[in-house]
Amino acid sequence: MKKTVKIGLFGFGCVGQGLYDILQNNTENTGFEAQILKICVKNKEKKREIDASYFTFDKDEILNNSEINLVVELISDAEEAYQIVKKALLSGKNVVTANKKMLALHLEELVRIQKETGTSLLYEAAVCGSIPIIRTLAEYYDNEFLYSVSGIFNGSSNYILSKISNENLSYDVALKQAQKLGFAEADPTLDVAGFDATYKLCLLATQAYGIFINPDEVLRIGINNLKKEDIDFAKNYSVKKENDQNTTNFKVKLVASISRIKSSENNQVLLYVLPVFVDAENPLYNVENENNAVLVEAAFSDKQTFIGKGAGGHPTGSAVLSDISALRFDYQYEYRKTDRNKEKNALGQTLISPTQNVEAEVYLRFENHLSKKELLQNIDFTEILTENENHIIGKIILSELFEKRDFIEKHHIFVALCGEVKAVN
Amino acid sequence: MKKTVKIGLFGFGCVGQGLYDILQNNTENTGFEAQILKICVKNKEKKREIDASYFTFDKDEILNNSEINLVVELISDAEEAYQIVKKALLSGKNVVTANKKMLALHLEELVRIQKETGTSLLYEAAVCGSIPIIRTLAEYYDNEFLYSVSGIFNGSSNYILSKISNENLSYDVALKQAQKLGFAEADPTLDVAGFDATYKLCLLATQAYGIFINPDEVLRIGINNLKKEDIDFAKNYSVKKENDQNTTNFKVKLVASISRIKSSENNQVLLYVLPVFVDAENPLYNVENENNAVLVEAAFSDKQTFIGKGAGGHPTGSAVLSDISALRFDYQYEYRKTDRNKEKNALGQTLISPTQNVEAEVYLRFENHLSKKELLQNIDFTEILTENENHIIGKIILSELFEKRDFIEKHHIFVALCGEVKAVN
Ligand SMILES: NC(=O)c1ccc[n+]([C@@H]2O[C@H](COP(=O)([O-])OP(=O)(O)OC[C@H]3O[C@@H](n4cnc5c(N)ncnc54)[C@H](OP(=O)(O)O)[C@@H]3O)[C@@H](O)[C@H]2O)c1
Ligand SMILES: NC(=O)c1ccc[n+]([C@@H]2O[C@H](COP(=O)([O-])OP(=O)(O)OC[C@H]3O[C@@H](n4cnc5c(N)ncnc54)[C@H](OP(=O)(O)O)[C@@H]3O)[C@@H](O)[C@H]2O)c1
């Protein structure tokens, strides 16, 4: 049953205006009625590009308006967004949101409310902008045994890495460029320290494996301690492959990943957001600048790569629009993998759960103020492969990295995966 | 409303067995009931891997079985497939098919029958195997103004091109390898002469632009006349870019493409399947071996690339399964762009239509038996840029190439796009 979508919009910033723009200018858009009735924003002083009668500063003017059947939530405040989305669902309105932070913190509860109220909560735009990865996981891979879902989920940090690598810029200059171009947040920590990618990874964990992950429990190390010398080191880093040839010329990418750890029951997954040395055979190698990419490895459909714009008003707005469009038919994500986990749980079967009991080869560079001795007293390697005065390459259990994350951050240590990741027996 | 899917399967070859395998071994597949009741095949002598009671040689045993609510059509005979699919839809059964040839020849009629009977016809597996491009175009891009949809749609020919380029094999040896590995058809013409890619392109034209294209009307030149020297030529070919730097090191890829031609009304599209010189900035450059790729360029979501396995029993079977899974909810493709075109037509507005009135830069290599003079008497260039004793680089109107396709084929001329494609005023 088609119906006219009457929208109450929260937020009129980058994405909100992008959506407005698309609804105004989309010549393809006949036969699909979507109308913005009201827009709630915060700042009463700000000049707006469109008629003042659209705007309100009182969220209840949208939430209590019974004519509005869809709330589109595009504000920058995660806590307030949570209140808005929850109330909207509880009052029987469908919700489309792009707020990955809010979702990562509250998805389990919101999915429960969605079920109880028979509403629909869609969030394609929250993960990798215009790449339709949520819908694809929810619908297309809903029967598939997935080995891994990984990729480049943050455009700003990828832009910075590209600029340092390809144009020899320093980290600081590259970051300033990203900010100037509007890719990075005013406070870029969300991007470069890997928070943004972690939130997205948590949402994909739910769609790909039916599990809800607390972002704080994900091993997360960003590129905020990276220097140009790390990128140069990766370029010259050389690894012997099976065929005895050398792979060299690695790039550093900030990779988010959830993958099954090989074990008898295949019921453990490793999640991380980490800088990784990738070689030319990796599909992420050529993903440059502000682009995002998602790789899916599945038992039957094999490897797939999706590359596209991960941010920006128009790409993100177009993802919002595709959710709005799907709601004409009351489309919902099914969460079949989540339901199956509940069934398994009731039957006392082992569930998929996160592990960090995994050994990985890492490159770790430290600053002069820290002696190598001090470093090794604080961080336990299972094996040291090579070392010099300012870096170590060695094997480490990833739970050890997780536990020492405060030490790593405090001492501005740069860490990257540079080789195999293997389950510990 | 969920329902148990009871399947009548036609064909038990590469894809049919792949699907059977997946249904047997998919551990993720709880909560989703799909059951194969009967399998119709052709050859009575062939040994089958599974119980003989599954099989029939009489299509009506499936088509007249009222317990069966879904026909999965995976046979190699396009004409017979058409009869089966048509009858199944007319008798109220949903259909999933992977048969791109059959669909390309009959889609308009079958979509009409689907509408009249309220059934559903799904065909994700028919285009680029496991890449979910049909669903993505139908759902995600249904509101988007698309500039182009293009890519590498045939795994066998891409495999051949990769092997010649990366391992210095001759065309014939590479083709034999592809056949041995099961990528290429016994009669490889379908692959290397571009028929297979053309069928897929026609299906994408419907989903992307709402138009039905006769495959015979598509400009189609394959790689069957390619020699290693063409690939070497591309490697050394050099073009000045805007920034005055040279691009060189091109690869030859068999590219299928539908794109809007810039004009006042933006209502013309160019379709072709042609060898193209692509440079390292093109996302197709790194798509190697049997992989497929689809690029979508859209007004708001910008550029997206999807890369994955385009063929093989499991990847294709997994696409079939995702269609079967969607039918639990009577999912249908909506064809909103098609409907909109009908509305426009009724209002006397100009419709999207194909054009070949486009000038392109091409590389054209001919064999010794043909003199250059003879060639130029038969094929009209608008401008010749460089020439030597066995090749010409020049500008040509693509309708001229289309008209001379028999001459080109007869004289084993190899043609590739090697530069700009521009509307003619
Ligand atoms: N930017 C992207 O490319 C992108 C991509 C994917 C997802 N997202 C997500 O989309 C959301 C919006 O991002 P954005 O880039 O559009 O942010 P933005 O440009 O900073 O705009 C934020 C908007 O939210 C409004 N707002 C903030 N707090 C509010 C409150 N308490 N009540 C009502 N309105 C409030 C602001 O109002 P004023 O106008 O009055 O200041 C502003 O209009 C965020 O969740 C972000 O993570 C963004
Ligand atoms: N192979 C791929 O990777 C791939 C990928 C995408 C799409 N497709 C499409 O999927 C379809 C099947 O391809 P395939 O590779 O599986 O073909 P295949 O291996 O050659 O198997 C063809 C099957 O069709 C059966 N068959 C042929 N004519 C028949 C008829 N008149 N009545 C009943 N059964 C008949 C054959 O029966 P017998 O067993 O008795 O010989 C055989 O089981 C084709 O449309 C193809 O274009 C294939």
One-character DSSP codes across B187-226: STHHHHTSHHHHHHHHHHHHHHHS----GGGSEE--STT-
pLDDT in tens, A379-414: 999 999 999 989 999 999 999 999 999 999 999 999
* Residues on chain A touching B304 (C-beta within 8 angstroms): 130-131, 306-309
**Can you tell me the distance from the alpha carbon of A273 to that of A276, in angstroms, rounded to the nearest whole number?**
9
- Over the Cα atoms of chain A, what is R_g? 22
What is the whole-number distance in angstroms between the Cα of residue B12 and the centre of ligand 2? Answer: 7
Q: Is the ipTM here above 0.90?
A: yes
Cβ neighbors of A74 (< 8 A, separation 6 or more) are A9, A10, A11, A12, A13, A15, A16, A19, A97, A98, A99, A320
Find the residues whose C-beta lies inside 6 A of ligand 1.
A 10-16, 40-43, 46, 74-77, 80, 98-100, 125-126, 129, 311-312, 316
CA distance B339 to chain A (A): 9
**Can you tell me the distance from the alpha carbon of B304 to that of B298, in angstroms, rounded to the nearest whole number?**
8
For ligand 2, whether the C-beta of B104 sits within 6 Å is: no
SS3 state at B322: helix
A26, B144: Cβ pair inside 8 Å?
yes
Please report the atom of ligand 1 found closest to the CA of residue A48: 39
Q: What is the pLDDT of residue A28?
A: 64
Contact (CB, 8 A) for A146 and A260: yes
Counting beta carbons within 10 angstroms of the beta carbon of residue A153, is it exposed (0 to 12), middle (13 to 18) or buried (19 or more)? buried
B314, A303: Cβ pair inside 8 Å?
no
| Confidence band of B1 (pLDDT split at 50, 70, 90) | very low
Question: Is B87 one of the annotated active-site residues of the chain?
Answer: no
| Confidence band of B257 (pLDDT split at 50, 70, 90) | very high
pLDDT in tens, B176-213: 999 888 777 778 999 999 999 999 999 999 999 999 99
Mutation choice for ligand 2 from B38, B41, B183, CB with most ligand atoms inside 8 A: B41
**Can you tell me the distance from the alpha carbon of B193 to that of B230, in angstroms, rounded to the nearest whole number?**
16
Q: Is the pLDDT of residue A210 over 70?
A: yes
In angstroms, the Cα distances linking A179 to A172, A225, B356 are 11, 18, 44
Q: What is the pLDDT of residue B2?
A: 53
Contact (CB, 8 A) for B158 and B135: no
Query: Does pTM surpass 0.90?
Result: yes
Q: A264 and chain B: CB distance < 8 Å anywhere?
A: no
Q: What is the pLDDT of residue A295?
A: 98
For ligand 2, whether the C-beta of B224 sits within 6 Å is: no
User: How does DSSP classify residue B273?
Assistant: E
- Over the Cα atoms of chain B, what is R_g? 22
Q: What is the pLDDT of residue A425?
A: 72
SS3 state at A18: helix
Q: What is the pLDDT of residue A2?
A: 53
Mutation choice for ligand 1 from A74, A190, A198, CB with most ligand atoms inside 8 A: A74
Atom 32 of ligand 2: nearest residue by CA position: B42
Q: Write the residue in B140, B305, B337 that is nearest to A132 by C-beta.
A: B140
Q: What does the mean pLDDT of chain A come to?
A: 93
Q: What is the 3-state secondary structure (H, E, C) of A362-389?
A: EEEECCCCCCHHHHHHHCCCCEEEEECC
Q: Is the pLDDT of residue B264 over 80?
A: no
Mutation choice for ligand 2 from B43, B57, B76, CB with most ligand atoms inside 8 A: B76
> What mean pLDDT do residues B350-358 have?
92
Q: Write the residue in A304, A312, A315 that is nearest to B131 by C-beta.
A: A304
Contact (CB, 8 A) for A120 and A330: yes
CA distance B410 to chain A (A): 39
Cβ neighbors of A186 (< 8 A, separation 6 or more) are A179
Bridge partners of B306, per DSSP, are: A306, B294
> What mean pLDDT do residues A309-336 have?
92
For chain A, domains (ranges, CATH) are 5-139+314-344 (3.40.50.720), 356-425 (3.30.70.260)
Interface of B with A in 328-357 (CB under 8 A): 336-337, 339-340, 343
Bridge partners of B394, per DSSP, are: B362, B384
Q: Is the pLDDT of residue A29 over 70?
A: no
B26, A143: Cβ pair inside 8 Å?
yes
Q: What is the pLDDT of residue A1?
A: 45
* Closest C-alpha among A96, A38, A108 to residue A321: A96
Q: What is the pLDDT of residue B28?
A: 64
Q: Is the pLDDT of residue B38 over 80?
A: yes
* Closest C-alpha among B151, B153, B161, B154 to residue B235: B161
> What mean pLDDT do residues A228-250 have?
88
* Residues on chain A touching B299 (C-beta within 8 angstroms): 26, 314
Q: Write the residue in B145, B325, B336 that is nearest to A27 by C-beta.
A: B145
Q: Is the pLDDT of residue B280 over 50?
A: yes
Helix H or strand E encompassing B362:
strand B358-365
Q: What is the pLDDT of residue B330?
A: 84
**Can you tell me the distance from the alpha carbon of A155 to that of A127, in angstroms, rounded to the nearest whole number?**
11
Contact (CB, 8 A) for A157 and A191: yes
**Can you tell me the distance from the alpha carbon of A408 to that of A402, in angstroms, rounded to the nearest whole number?**
10
> What mean pLDDT do residues A291-315 have?
95
